[in-house]
Structure 1
């Protein structure tokens, strides 16, 4: 009975705020205060702040949280928190340069027009001369019950999926629904529908109204060709150079930033082994095999391994020929192991999700395959929704010395928080 009533109350409060409110974490006032204090301690330790400054800043944060579940981060705190969130991202293999993340503060203007304009500037700055820079643009946060504008599209650049009357799909199958919505709102490809038509960007304003923004003209694309097999170029494959992730929520010290687009650079397997080969994406492995001169056979499926390897070679060679930053999965794995060793030398345990860290190609030949991992979802961090990766986000105390009773208490408290946040 109690669970049913709690569920009805929570559902009603979530539905009242629209799509964004249903994605935000359920965090109590005490939990928000705990996250704020843990973040302040980490920031003070990293910057060498005095005890007097720490006490004064904690008093300011505490007053803000008491008045309206909100306090404002200083520019220095914002930059430190964003970099820390990248360091804590358990699904990212490329965290070695986490402290070099460029942070752009756009909290002063969070209008949809400002967000749309910044997407283009962000793509330009990140691309530069082809050497991709990691940048994050941070817009206004959630202020108590006041929700800001945000970006609904998972990435700033996405390819459409055109579904014919016979059910045949052309393009990125993951975006079939996004393409349907875009068409219903008046979008049409510039020419005849093709497999690589860039979709518009979906924004939501403060009133949760969907706004369609044309595809960013700053999107650069790389044509895919094999260095030794000219038949692959005939498929007309291409992919965009900058993966600008736009739908993840940045959480720093108990404050959520729903609009914080950020980018890194691609690893070849993300495009070749997943985007082009997955049956729920382009599903082109057989076409690629034939273009490479292979004969797909049901009796001998090792042709898949050959096709995937050659497709990775093609993607890697094409990006390098275009002068665009690209890394192979073996180099990325080596970088992750370097990052892992550095974190351990600093007395920090690395949060990592094995399913995301281990590359999909030649997995057992990469060192992370043999590494024991656990993603304990520390904050600051990124999450997509409260039911998936946001449910378990909370401060992590496992890097400091704790007596056994304190460890037991931490485990019990952690399980209680997760139970309380679930939608019963």
Structure 2
């Protein structure tokens, strides 16, 4: 029995990055031997065990072959005869196909260290093209390591293009897709994830609504970058730079989908794109079974982001309707995330990345003003039921009028 540290832990150590998760592979062992040493089995598909003390995962060296469509369409074979090199060749990228023993002696049969130095994301073998999930994974790694100068090797991008055209991407489950998408959006340069998916044709398959935004012009007065797709990438980049949560980043990605529906003869204007885009945002939300908080914020930002930009011009009655739509009285955090998404949208424009966004403080102040309306005095006046609701609304409107006059 020989035990090796493999994959990301080896890669990140060689890059000088901190190592958090460690994967181990065990060569020359049987399931019975692992159990005898106190390892606990997990996973139904192939032999993976938890270390009796550390709880870390140890997998028996295995081979795999394609047996069906999609991410799960593989047959695995684990036995003491499977070599370390055979286990490593089934991995996605050369930089993830290295191993080291307890003395940090490196096993690198597929030149991962060379590709680390060359800053290349390169597939290990032609079997890469058998797993459609790898298209998303490579795009995610590109987003993670873009700041270090990593790019996707041309031959790997070509395999990704072939996968995108094969129909295999449609066999991915929403859960697996969302796991990769959500992780990629939380990387330091999530816009690179979208760029790589677009470069290999996967964006057109997975999110045609987002892909349709590239090449669609916007008024240069408000959007010096002109191209809507380029704007979305910039907004995502701003969201990452400002450390926004996943909900905000997802809303930033989808907020302008309605512009993809504008007839060319109406370009570069996009009248009512906020409302038109809602059905598209809903479709993308459902396709990937995004978490409810991500779905809700994306829909609200899609519908109201231009309200956010025009906040200082809104009538008190419109401002009140906006606050009601977000249920700011019971869910203040969601309104904060809306404000953040609007600010990222305003900053995600060429040359305007450092612009101030006074609308943010104005909207926060409006929410505070509306929240300060006390219900108890209205109850004491005898209001109840629908009449109480109307009375609260009147008082909140009065508070917002006062607030607007004082600002």
TM-score band, normalised by shorter chain: under 0.3
Per residue, is there more helix in 1 or in 2? 2
What is the TM-score of this pair, normalised by structure 2? Answer: 0.25
Structure (1 or 2) with the larger CA radius of gyration? 2
Q: Relative contact order: is structure 1 or structure 2 higher (C-alpha 8 Å, sep ≥ 6)?
A: 1
